[in-house]
Amino acid sequence: MKKLNIALLLAVLALAVYLSVLSPAAMQAVQGKFLSILAPFLRTGTAVQEQIGSMGKGLKTLDEVEADNRKLTEVNRVLLTTNNLLREIEAENNRLRLALEYRERSVFRLLAARVISRDASTWWNTVKINRGFEDGVETDQPVLTDLGLVGKTTTVTKSESIVVLITDETCRVAAKVEGTREQGILSGMRIQESGTSGELQLNFLTKNAALEAGKNVYTAGISNGVFPSGILIGKVKEFRTRPLDGQAIVEPAVDISQTEDVFVVVGAK
């Protein structure tokens, strides 16, 4: 081998070693800059992927459209009635609130975001959203929808962020089970079955918990944790007893493969 080739090889390996000893924050900064450059291409790529994936899905027969229409009209009537009732209750609630001088209940400030890219990697479950530090997003902020928890932000660039989903094994959440005193650590599976909403594992439960299927699982909200308390994560699907603890298999409340609009919890109101 020529001396020049050996020198080049050593230079490349030295570069690899230098990059590998950078701090995680520095690596994320480099990745952030790279993703900012790549964002327009990734958005186009995802749009194409969605077009390919949805090919033929939107086609329905006339009978199916009519059935859908009947069902939606019925749902619409129910919702209108409920809405009118709730409006009256809201007005009454406001009157009572004023009368009693109650403080407004502290709720979280939500920032609406759109999923711009679903990760095309084999081993990780992440999505990219169209909000970055310019919009007030920071690392480790919870991401949710009206149905429940989605994940948390990791790398944040100027106008995009990466969200690691709760279906990923690295996203760990302190969780509690409705109607019990059971608490544990919830995470995704190493491999999620393709084309499904995925499964989660709730570990470190007591062995004799014997949780029933269908019970809701919520975030437990530990101090200095990422996730506030009381966000719905999913429903218990199955309970297993292991040698040292109990494990519940949880079905996520949000089907992330179908979700397009999410909210980032950017702080308290």
Q: Which is nearer to other proteins, 150 or 235 (CB)?
A: 150
Three-state SS for the chain is CCHHHHHHHHHHHHHHHHHHCCCHHHHHHHHHHHHHHHHHHHHHHHHHHHHHHCCCCCCCCHHHHHHHHHHHHHHHHHHHHHHHHHHHHHHHHHHHHHHHCCCCCCCEEEEEEEEEEECCCCCCCEEEECCCHHHCCCCCCEEECCCCEEEEEEEECCCCEEEEECCCCCCCEEEEECCCCCEEEEEECCCCCCCCCCCEEEEEECCCCCCCCCCEEEECCCCCCCCCCCCEEEEEEEEEECCCCEEEEEEECCCCCCCCEEEEEEEEC
CB of 238 to other proteins, least distance (A): 17
Q: Which is nearer to other proteins, 203 or 206 (CB)?
A: 203
Q: Which is nearer to other proteins, 216 or 225 (CB)?
A: 225
Q: Which is nearer to other proteins, 6 or 91 (CB)?
A: 6
* Binding positions for other proteins, rule: CB under 8 A: 1-2, 4-5, 8-9, 12-13, 15-22, 24-25, 27-28, 30-31, 34-35, 41-42, 44-46, 48-49, 52-53, 117, 120-124, 126, 140, 154-155, 164, 168-172, 190-195
CB of 194 to other proteins, least distance (A): 3
CB of 169 to other proteins, least distance (A): 6
CB of 186 to other proteins, least distance (A): 14
